[in-house]
Amino acid sequence: MQHSNPEANPRAPVSRYGDKSGIADGRVPDFRLQKSDDGDWQVLVISVRGSYWLRANHIELCDDGKRMNLSGANAFLREARRDGFKTEYVGPNGAAII
């Protein structure tokens, strides 16, 4: 699992949102879902809140580099949205907050 907080994980990329979000409602996404070069999907944790939820609900996704197929990615997005979390989807046409 990767965090955008460099102190929590020194290998993690720093979030491009910083301390202040550019998102219209003022919230930073909790997760980033992106397609890897091999065609699988990967979930990256961006927020501390998302980290707690992921550990409580999807401990199998907490390993670094854990990947899933398209069906698993869709199920993850549905469940995260249902519980009020925002996900940055990075697809072929750019990024979108869902």
What was the pLDDT predicted at 25? 52
CA–CA distance, 59 with 26 (Å, rounded to integer): 28
80 confidence band (pLDDT: 50, 70, 90): very high
Q: How many CA atoms lie within 13 A of 33 on its CB side?
A: 26
Residue with the bigger pLDDT between 44 and 63: it is 44
Taking the model in full, what pTM does it have? 0.66
Helix (H) or strand (E) holding 19: none
Confidence of residue 85 (pLDDT cuts 50, 70, 90): very high
pLDDT of amino acid 71: 92
Say if residue 89's pLDDT is above 80: yes
2-58 per-position pLDDT tens digit: 555 444 443 444 444 443 334 445 568 999 999 888 889 988 889 999 999 989 998
CB-based burial label for 45 (10 Å; 0-12, 13-18, 19+): buried
Q: What's at 92, amino acid-wise?
A: P
